[in-house]
Amino acid sequence: MLNSKSIYRGLVAALSISFWLTAQAAVKPNQMAPDFALPSSNGETISLSDYKGKYVILEWTNHDCPFVKKHYSGGNMQGLQKQYTGQDVVWLSIISSAPGKQGYVDATAANMLTTSREAAPTHVLFDGDGQVGKTYGAKTTPHMYIIKPDGMLAYIGAIDSIKSTDPADIARATNYVTQAMNELEAGQAVSKPLTKPYGCSVKY
């Protein structure tokens, strides 16, 4: 008969294997970004490969998450979207919340959110079965990715350096997306290509 120590060791081993498998599935900086095709809030099918030759920023989002609200209520996320789309960068906001879970919206609600928040992504995309999010290893909302014009991942991680839900912290934080984009535009290597994301768990 198994004792409690044996059961505990078995659970630890199973969790370790699960974590290892998840880690293996996730993409890493300096790897080619996996292509995908997802429906948009405007009824189109958008593929990453449509934007070959351009910088692409991926933003995993959930409008009900307090960490996402921090960056939208303070105008930070919209400011970044407007700044970079104005520089011909493609910004794709991806919703991987499964139907019935926090953050799930239909196309009408997604467009209303974009309008009411004065957001400016190139597209809002739906990943209801979570396949794209899991392929990319998206763990939190927000979780940010920068893809270079050659299709290689340049940055993966947090939007900034202060893990909080307080909009007042935005001005004090190092914005990792801005930092990485500035370095790329200057022809430099990204100094922090991988950071630990913070936020709500993606509601797969």
Tens-digit pLDDT profile for residues 11-25: 434 444 334 334 444
Rounded CA-CA distance 15/10 in Å is 9
Confidence of residue 5 (pLDDT cuts 50, 70, 90): very low
Please report which helix (H) or strand (E) contains residue 47, including its range.
strand 45-47
Q: Which residue has the tokens 């014009």?
A: 149
Average pLDDT over residues 120-140: 98
In a domain? residue 173? yes
In three-state secondary structure terms, 36 is coil
In a domain? residue 16? no
Is residue 113 pLDDT above 50, yes or no? yes
DSSP bridge partners of 59: 93, 144
Please report which helix (H) or strand (E) contains residue 132, including its range.
helix 131-136
Q: Is 36 within 8 Å of 132 (Cβ atoms)?
A: yes
Rounded CA-CA distance 164/150 in Å is 34
In a domain? residue 6? no
Confidence of residue 159 (pLDDT cuts 50, 70, 90): very high
Q: Check residue 7 and give its pLDDT.
A: 42
Is residue 4 pLDDT above 90, yes or no? no
Q: Which structural domain range is residue 77 located in? A: 29-201
In a domain? residue 116? yes
Is residue 94 pLDDT above 80, yes or no? yes
In a domain? residue 179? yes
Q: Check residue 189 and give its pLDDT.
A: 95
In three-state secondary structure terms, 12 is helix
What is the tens place of the pLDDT at every residue in 38-58?
999 999 999 999 999 999 999
Is residue 203 pLDDT above 60, yes or no? yes
Cβ neighbors of 198 (< 8 A, separation 6 or more) are 67, 140, 158, 163
In a domain? residue 2? no
Q: Which residue has the tokens 């909009």?
A: 167
- Cα separation values, 153 from 33, 39, 142, 178, Å: 6, 22, 17, 15
Residue 98's closest CA among 58, 131, 138? Answer: 131
Main-chain dihedrals φ then ψ at residue 175, nearest 5 degrees: -80, 110
Is residue 149 pLDDT above 80, yes or no? yes
In a domain? residue 53? yes
Rg (CA), the chain: 18
Q: What percent of the chain has pLDDT over 70?
A: 88
Q: Is the pTM of this model over 0.85?
A: yes
In a domain? residue 17? no
Number of separate domains in the chain: 1
CATH number at residue 65: 3.40.30.10
Q: Check residue 39 and give its pLDDT.
A: 98
Q: Going along 48-142, which residue ranges are E strands?
A: 56-60, 90-95, 123-126, 140-141
